[in-house]
Amino acid sequence: MNSQRFQRDRRRPAEPFRLLGRALAAVFAVAAAVALSSGEARADFTMCNNTGSRVGVAIGYKDQQSWVSEGWWNLPARSCETLVKGTLVARYYYVYAVDYDRGGEWSGQAFMCTREKEFTIRGTEDCLARGYDRTGFFEVDTREQRAWTVQLTDSGESGSPQPIPGLELLPPKAGARGGALKP
């Protein structure tokens, strides 16, 4: 009788360990699923507006067929938005942004076609002749990363974070000059 009691007592502690093992397996499975899904969600081109103003953003890139410029994304102050979803297909992306509230722009030396209303425009040639504006975009070299984030900041902003891989910190610029687009 003592030996049976001993065996039962011995089984009882094993049951909680078996349940704990199953619970841990479930937790690891959920953690793995979250890690995989968050890894996919991070494969994007994201723009963050770290200013106190509303900002309009246009982007340009080369897809499999030709150069494409797209806009406008309207980003509220202190917000982020994904402009290109999924794994990036180009190394170089081009961005133009305008500060709606205080004026000024983030621009550069690579000219692409834009217009005032929502647009997707193929090609960068003859913008004016085709009825579009010719706008200077700044270049973002993603270094062939799967995902990239660009952060727009106020010029002279104190306490700005330092650049890290995958992050561009760019103050507004007043003018634009001619430049070449890179494939």
Query: Model confidence over 111-158: pLDDT tens digits?
Result: 999 999 999 999 999 999 999 999 999 999 998 888 899 999 886 543
The amino acid that residue 38 corresponds to is S
Unique residue bearing structure tokens 């007043």? 174
> How high is the pLDDT of residue 117?
96
Across the range 98-117, mean pLDDT stands at 94
pLDDT category, 181, cuts 50, 70, 90? low
Unique residue bearing structure tokens 């494409």? 68
How far, rounded to the nearest angstrom, does the alpha carbon of residue 89 sit from its chain's CA centroid? Answer: 13
> How high is the pLDDT of residue 43?
73
> How high is the pLDDT of residue 93?
93
| pLDDT of 26 over the 60 cut | no
**14 vs 146, higher pLDDT:** 146
Write the pLDDT tens digit of every residue in 48-66. Answer: 999 999 999 999 999 888 9
CB atoms within 10 A of CB 137: 26
Q: Which token pair is 33?
A: 């699923």
